[in-house]
Amino acid sequence: MTHSSKLSPLEASRGSPLTGRVRVPGDKSISHRALILGALAVGETRIQGLLESEDVLNTAKAMRALGAQVLRDGDGTWSVQGVGVAGFAQPEAPLDFGNSGTGCRLVMGAVAGCPITATFDGDASLRSRPMRRIVDPLALMGAKVTAQSEGGRLPLTLQGARDPLPIEYRSPVASAQIKSAVLLAGLAAPGITTVIEPAASRDHTELMLRHFGAEIVSVPDGADGRKISLTGQPELHGAPVAVPADPSSAAFPIVAALIVPESDVTFDDVMTNPLRTGLFTTLREMGASIEETHARGDTGEPMAQLRVRASKLRGVEVPAARAPSMIDEYLVLAVAAAFAEGTTTMRGLHELRVKESDRLEATAAMLRVNGVKVGIEGDDMIVEGRGHVPGGGVVATHMDHRIAMSALVMGCASDRPVRVDDTTFIATSFPDFIPMMQRLGAVFA
Ligand code: S3P
């Protein structure tokens, strides 16, 4: 998506309690992977509950450009007819991933194992994000970057390997995007491709690869790390995928329900994969009432119903080791921390600097402009909670959906309204966010 100069500002004000029962849209990570693995499999993959957001729709377009057939049925089911491992066709035009680091980086991995050349591009936010962390390991496997922008950024042209090599790659960062890119390239390599990560990142790629018929083994490595080994050149078979509700999207109305007095909201089918639930653990430590029932895992990923009631929160210390399991949730956690009594210290947040925006700076700015005291010390963020937030600020969203949603959540309970300069990017992950929040009782104007 190009960022038009037309901004859509919005203001959130304090209103009555939030109440109701909702299912937030499908998980973004799983939606990208279902399309990509469906495209690399032989036969049909039917996907229920795919997240129909701009990020995911860009991945769907890329899969079509690479030769897969991707269709949406009238009932909202998506079907993908894949081309088989290493079967991608050369795309005729650059692949535009809009705002999506995940779509772009995972597809880079898949392309790296095919004898084709593709150009990757995105919006101004994605063009500013680091890509060497992805293309460096892919180069070890035989892929070549034939054109790139300064600092190894997009637009970038990648020539896939004719005969990809299996590697053992020790990733310097606990990143599911790096791990997934190497594993997707490894599908086309003979022998075992191994990724060692310093701490466990989300394992949706591993789970879904297994579901599609690949042989993949994951074992602990050191105190927090994992070693993941994939046997190359499997025959992947199209398989049904039911996408659970996205815990990273649910995070916004969940925090809103906690901070707006007397709220009581129930969330259906929220994915509860332990590598994604660091926010829920932290909120519970802060005193949040989050009741989990109806746990099930029949569709490959665990999920549950969550009942969230307004709660008095207290400041806590969030250990760095928890970061991979809540990497996208620190923005909205910082909002919860501002409404808590006492100090919340969040440690080890360096990866926040390379997300859709520099989220460490943008989160601190969002809080400060609304009268909250916040400090950044190295990689740590310290929020001084006072039990209430003065509000009254205008928040700069920096093309970042999660900044926009976090600021609007803050405005639901702050003393004075909170305004965001632009809500356009919410459509990248949670197109229904504004009407869904309004249905629960939020006052947005
Ligand atoms: C994602 C991984 C995370 C996360 C992103 C989605 C994924 O990035 O921030 O929103 O689906 O693999 P890193 O693993 O690179 O930290």
Amino acid at 119: T
Per-residue pLDDT tens listing for the chain (445 residues)? 445 568 999 999 999 999 999 999 999 999 999 999 999 999 999 999 999 999 999 999 999 999 999 999 999 999 999 999 999 999 999 999 999 999 999 999 999 999 999 999 999 999 999 999 999 999 999 999 999 999 999 999 999 999 999 999 999 999 999 999 999 999 999 999 999 999 999 999 999 999 999 999 999 999 999 999 999 999 999 999 999 999 999 999 999 999 999 999 999 999 999 999 999 999 999 999 999 999 998 778 999 999 999 999 999 999 999 999 999 999 999 999 999 999 999 999 999 999 999 999 999 999 999 999 999 999 999 999 999 999 999 999 999 999 999 999 999 999 999 999 999 999 999 999 999 999 999 999 9
Look at residues 18, 2, 29 and name the one whose alpha carbon lies nearest to residue 243. 29
Looking from the CA of residue 33, the nearest atom of ligand 1 is 11
Q: What is the DSSP letter of 27?
A: P
Which of the residues 328, 380, 421, 422 is marked catalytic?
328
d(CA 137, CA 15): 50
Q: Could you check whether 10-26+245-444 and 28-242 share the same CATH topology? A: yes
What H or E segment, with its residue span, contains residue 408?
A: helix 401-411
110, 138 contact by CB (below 8 A): no
Centroid of ligand 1 to alpha carbon of 12 (angstroms): 28
Rounded to the nearest angstrom, the distance between the alpha carbon of 233 and the centre of ligand 1 is: 25
Instruction: Identify whether 415 is a catalytic site residue.
Output: no
Write the DSSP string, 275-302: TS-HHHHHHHHTT-EEEEEEEE-TTSS-
Q: What is the pLDDT of residue 6?
A: 87
With CA atoms as reference, report the closest residue to 351 among 172, 220, 221: 172
- 445 Cβ contact partners less than 8 Å away, ≥ 6 residues apart: 10, 11, 13
User: What does the longest C-alpha to C-alpha distance in the chain come to?
Assistant: 61
Domain boundaries, the chain: 10-26+245-444, 28-242
81 close to 112: Cβ distance less than 8 angstroms: no
CATH code reported for the domain at 28-242: 3.65.10.10
Q: Which residue has the tokens 């995972």?
A: 106
Pick the CATH number of 10-26+245-444 from 3.30.10.20, 3.40.710.10, 3.65.10.10, 3.40.50.150: 3.65.10.10
Q: How far apart are CA 255 and CA 268, in angstroms?
A: 16
**Nearest CA among 2, 12, 7 for reference residue 434:** 12
Specify the ligand 1 atom closest to the Cα of 328: 9
Cβ(3)–Cβ(408) under 8 Å? no
Ligand 1 neighbours, Cβ below 6 Å, are: 29, 102, 175-177, 180, 201-202, 327-328, 351
